[in-house]
Amino acid sequence: MNFEFGRVALVVLFALLPIVGIALGFFVPALRARGPLFVAFFAGIIPILSLYIPRQFLSGETGMRPRLDQWLIIVYGFALLLGIVNVIQNGSRKIARREKGWPYSAVLMTGLFLTGGLGIWGAVSGQGITTLPDGSGTPFKWIADHFFLPLQATIFALLAFFMASAAFRAFRARNTEATILLAAGIVVMAGRVPLLEFLSSPFPPLQPTAAVASQGLGKLTEWIMSTPNGAAQSGIIIGAALGAASMAIRVILGIERGYLGLGGGE
């Protein structure tokens, strides 16, 4: 067995310590919350330390940090299983009780078992999940190409319609700030496309003027995007980064516990 320090440390911190914590929690309820807090502390402090301490056991290819990332992916896989079980439970209950919308659950279950079954068969049989040994596509790939990808694109395409209805409703000159927002929005929308050329296309004598005006509008658009917009984005990014850092330190130090279902800070 390989007893490298990083591996041993991870096992102690993320396996032994939580088990001991859970066991102690049965006898001393006040300690029940400590186990997750310790895990959160070490899970948070190891990546931070690995930024500044490049030692092999911490930041190397087989160090604590990359192993922790791998363990997260494994935990994620099991959590995905939990999610799928929940989907099956909810769907089955809706179908069994003929609750409102139960046909949709029937469609969902069919898709889940059919697609999942085909994918698992492809993996287990060694035939391949998306490509057969002869190079042709599997039924799984056919479902992905003919259902999944077009449906994804369709939902994304709905954005265009919703953007139009949101713009119609929300861009009203209610006050000074809203008017500035409205004006900037119209300038940017007009400046990003050859709108003036489009509007002047039925009027040839106006086209040269439209082309020059379009250039100017384009420059104004670029200025709005790079200067006021760039400044605002930078400000929000910096503020949010400081907020995230503060929140992260609170979580690591166990001050912030709301995400565990515990009370406020201590």
Partner 1 sequence: MARFFDKLLNLDRRWLFLLVFLGVAVPIILPIGLPVTTTGPTRSAFEYIEALKPGDYVIISFDYGPSSAPENDPMAEGIMRQCFLKKIRVVVIVLYQLGGLQLASNSVAKVSAEFPNLKYGVDYVNLGYKDGAAAVMKRMGDDIAGAFPTDVRGTPLSQIPIMKGLRSLRQVSVVVTVATGLIGEYWITQAHQQSGVPVIVGPTAVGAPKYYAYLNAGQLVGMLGGMKGAAEYEKLLAARYPELGRFYKTTRAFTATKGMDAQTVIHFVIILFILIGNIAFMSRRAAQKKA
Partner 2 sequence: MRTGLLSRARERRPQFAAPLLASLLVLLSSPAFAASPETSPPPAADLPAPTGFSAKDRPGDSGNATLLTWKDPSGVPEGAMIQIRRAVPPAYDWTDIATVKLGVERYEDTTAKDGVVYRYEIAVTVPAAGVSGPPVVSDPVASHDNWFSKDRTNSFIASVLFIFILLISITMAKSGKNIFIRRIAGLNAIDEAIGRATEVGKKVLYIPGIQSMDEIQTIASISILGHVARATARYGADLDVANRDPLTFASAREVVRSAYLEEGRPDLFREEMVNYVTYDQFAFTAAVSARMIREKPAAIFLIGYFFAESLILAETGQSTGAIQIAGQADPTQLPFFVATCDYTLIGEELYAASAYLTREPILLGSMRAQDIAKGIVIVLGIGGIIVTSLGLTWFPDLFKTK
Could you say whether residue 146 binds partner 1 (CB under 8 A)? no
Which of 104, 226, 242, 265 binds partner 1 (CB under 8 A)? It is 226
Could you say whether residue 25 binds partner 1 (CB under 8 A)? no
Binding segment toward partner 1, per CB under 8 A, in 11-19, 34-42, 165-173, 257-265: 165-173
Taking the least distance from each CB to partner 2, the nearer of 13 and 256 is: 256
Which of 56, 110, 136, 201 binds partner 1 (CB under 8 A)? It is 201
Taking the least distance from each CB to partner 1, the nearer of 90 and 234 is: 234
Taking the least distance from each CB to partner 1, the nearer of 178 and 247 is: 178
Task: Give the per-residue SS3 of the chain.
Answer: CCCCHHHHHHHHHHHHHHHHHHHHHHHCHHHCCHHHHHHHHHHHHHHHHHHHCCCHHHHCCCCHHHHHHHHHHHHHHHHHHHHHHHHHHHHHHHHHHCCCCHHHHHHHHHHHHHHHHHHHHHHHHCCCCCECCCCCECHHHHHHHHHHHHHHHHHHHHHHHHHHHHHHHHCCCCCHHHHHHHHHHHHHHHHCCCHHHHHHCCCHHHHHHHHHHHHHHHHHHHHHHHCHHHHHHHHHHHHHHHHHHHHHHHHHCCCCCHHHCCCCCC
Footprint on this chain of partner 2 (rule: CB under 8 A): 48, 51-56, 59-61, 63, 72, 75-76, 79-84, 86-87, 90, 93, 100-101, 104, 148, 151-152, 155-156, 158-159, 162-163, 165-167, 169-171, 232-233, 236-240, 242-251, 255-256, 258-266
- Residues of this chain that interact with partner 1 (CB under 8 A) are 61, 66, 69, 73, 149, 152-153, 155-156, 160-161, 163-165, 167-169, 171-173, 182, 185-186, 189-190, 192-195, 197-199, 201, 211, 214-215, 218, 222, 225-226, 229-230, 233-234, 237
